[in-house]
Chain A
Amino acid sequence: MNFLERLIGPRKTDVPSELWEKCPSCGAVLISKDLARALFICSKCDHHLRMPIWDRIALLTDGASFIETDREIESVDPLSFVDTAPYPERLAKAFKKTDSFDAVKCGEGRLEGRPILLGVMDFEFMGGSMGSVVGEKITRLLEKAVQTRMPAVVVSASGGARMQEGIFSLMQMAKTSAAVAHLNAANVPYISILTDPTTGGVSASFASLGDINIAEPRALIGFAGPRVIEQTIRQKLPDGFQRSEFLANHGMIDMVIHRRSMKQTLARLLNLIMGPLEAPHVA
């Protein structure tokens, strides 16, 4: 990470170097430059591919209304953790890959005119894992929602806790969940959007605690990863296990919403809960 990058902040997503990619669900060949316009949805089978973080922010906020906050909070290496590579090396690599200091972006924006606080997790940064930085930024977002009474929306995508931060990453589950409890007590709405994948420590903390929990279609959502479950119970898992529709059937989420309808759905919900905006805003 060089001096200039630190000062001027992340560049917008680069033009993809690959010209095409394969749909992970149906195998259809998808032209990369069309994918962004298609919101990273397969034109053949409607599969929701993982969405780059800036595209997600653009999808959910009006025009250029999003202003990032707490951007410069970055990880340290509290345990001097080394597995097959030292943790700082992994962080530097993730920074290079994503232009982000960690696995979540938080900020303020407008959603069909209504000011909201938005947090979006980035699976590209070390599997969206939650360490001290993710925990701190999510907590700050939720605390700001208490202070400003702006509704909070958090889009999750995470493999779980960041093992390289050991017990500190576990404690982020406590910290973020306690912050949700504060928000609940203040009666400010909190909407959790679960995208593929949301598992482990993120699923077992703030992501499952929305006043409203919404999932994208066919997203993998669960506490334990399917491989761990298969190894534990020594049987094959049923089709569709731990997918959004499975969670909806078991009463764990309020609704499964197509990416194309997500913003409109959020706007409708917030209008119904908080009442329509008093003065119309120009987006």
Chain B
Amino acid sequence: MSRDFEFERPILELEKRLSELQSLSEDGHIDLSKEINAISEKIQTLKAEIFKGLEPWQVTQVARHIDRPSTLDYVKLLCGDEFVEMHGDRLFGDDPAIVGGPALIGGHRVMLIGHQKGHDTDENLLRNFGMPHPEGYRKALRLMKFAERFHLPIVVFIDTPGAFPGIGAEERGQSEAIARNLAEMSQISVPILCFVIGEGGSGGALALGIGDRVFMLEYAIYSVISAEGCAAILWKDAAKAKEAAVALKIRSANLLELGIIDGVLPEPMGGAHRDHATTADVIRKTIEEHLPALLAMPCTELVEKRYAKFRAMGQFRFAQDALDG
């Protein structure tokens, strides 16, 4: 399976030529620096152009890119060795699709929790493509309660196609596990910072997403249903995913405009998958910027404000207004 997208192909072709020129210049001891610089510049312009004009469906592909940094990639970049993974929900098992544990980020002791996808087929089979079972959500909740007791703020990375639709998941109460997290997270008395780093897939994403601040990476998506799923139901044709992706308004800029998230974090040129370290830096800075104020807030106020934040989401009118208007 190709790791590249149709719309990225012109960039990749130039990059191939660049590396050919570079090796030619090294092997042949010829000075090609002028040509090399010209191509490098052209690559930058092309990347900027292409990524500026991305359609929602193309953004979806970027958000799902197999090389896009996952939770554990960010852990390495943000925490180094200062992270200890904890396992198990103490009820049924351990779900590798969600990881978490105490960590140190930029001088802050935190509880770090996130969905975990893989970078190849083997890893993805192990991680179930980042689609959790109920035990994953229950592990996450256990870690949040843990964090609450030891006054650790919670940092969440959201990246899942959705909660897994399977027999075992239903038997063990997928609905209840998600619902319980939504209810409990709204009452957790320590600050919660959420980052949608890739796919924010429906209830399976929201179940970790009740944050005091919720940020999205520029090319991440957040949606009530996958574009394919929506197309299959409303258009009765999964091939209409492109149209559905537009209609659902799933891009970070859309969500900011709709008042659902608190900020969009810019990605490096060409997307996070092309530069993990720079993306991690942006996340680190965001944590350092927002955590102190939240930590200073009395916890009753913190919880009240979190409730008010989600309480206010939704748009409706009164029929009488419609009559008058």
Chain A residues near B (Cβ < 8 Å) = 3, 6, 72-76, 78-79, 81-84, 101, 131-133, 135-136, 139, 161, 163-175, 177-182, 184-185, 200-201, 203-209, 221-225, 228-229, 232-233, 237-238, 241-242, 246, 250-252
Contact = CB atoms under 8 A, between A and B. Distances in A.
A225 B232 CA distance: 13
A171 B260 contact: yes
Nearest to A162: B224
Contacts of A241: 167, 170
Given A166-B224, A177-B183, A222 B311 contact: no
Contact of A180 (B171, B183, B235): B183
Contact of B167 (A132, A228, A233): A233
B53 interface: no
Interface in B233-282: 233-235, 243-244, 247-250, 254-255, 258, 260
Contacts, number: 202
Given A222-B170, A229-B166, A205 B182 contact: yes
A132 B203 contact: no
Given A74-B318, A161-B203, 7 more contacts: A6-B319, A135-B314, A167-B249, A171-B310, A181-B184, A201-B203, A223-B163
Contacts of B322: 74
Nearest to A233: B166
Given A82-B247, A241-B170, A139 B311 contact: yes
Contact of B316 (A132, A200, A224, A233): A132
Contact of A222 (B175, B250, B255): B175
B-side binding surface: helix, strand, loop or mixed?
helix
B166 A75 contact: no
Nearest to B186: A178
B222 interface: yes
Interface in B146-178: 163-167, 169-176, 178
Nearest to A175: B310
Interface of B: 163-167, 169-176, 178-180, 182-184, 186-187, 202-203, 206-207, 209-210, 222-225, 229-230, 233-235, 243-244, 247-250, 254-255, 258, 260, 307, 310-311, 313-320, 322-323
A74 B224 contact: no
Contacts of B310: 171, 174-175, 178
A251 B120 CA distance: 37
A166 B250 CA distance: 8
18 contacts: A74-B316, A74-B317, A74-B322, A79-B247, A132-B316, A136-B314, A163-B233, A166-B248, A168-B260, A171-B313, A173-B206, A174-B313, A178-B210, A203-B179, A206-B179, A208-B173, A209-B179, A232-B165
B113 to A, nearest CB: 17
A181 B313 contact: no
Nearest to B234: A83
Contacts of B222: 167
Contacts of A206: 179
Contacts of B174: 204, 222-224
B230 to A, nearest CB: 5
Contacts of A238: 167
Contact of B169 (A166, A223, A251): A223
A132 B315 CA distance: 6
Given A169-B224, A171-B260, A223-B174, A79 B316 contact: no
B314 A167 contact: no
B320 to A, nearest CB: 6
Most A-side CB within 10 Å, residue of B167, B223, B224, B250:
B224
Contacts of A203: 175, 179
Contacts of B170: 222-224, 229, 241-242
A233 B168 CA distance: 11
Given A163-B224, A166-B224, A228-B165, A181 B178 contact: no
Contacts of B164: 232
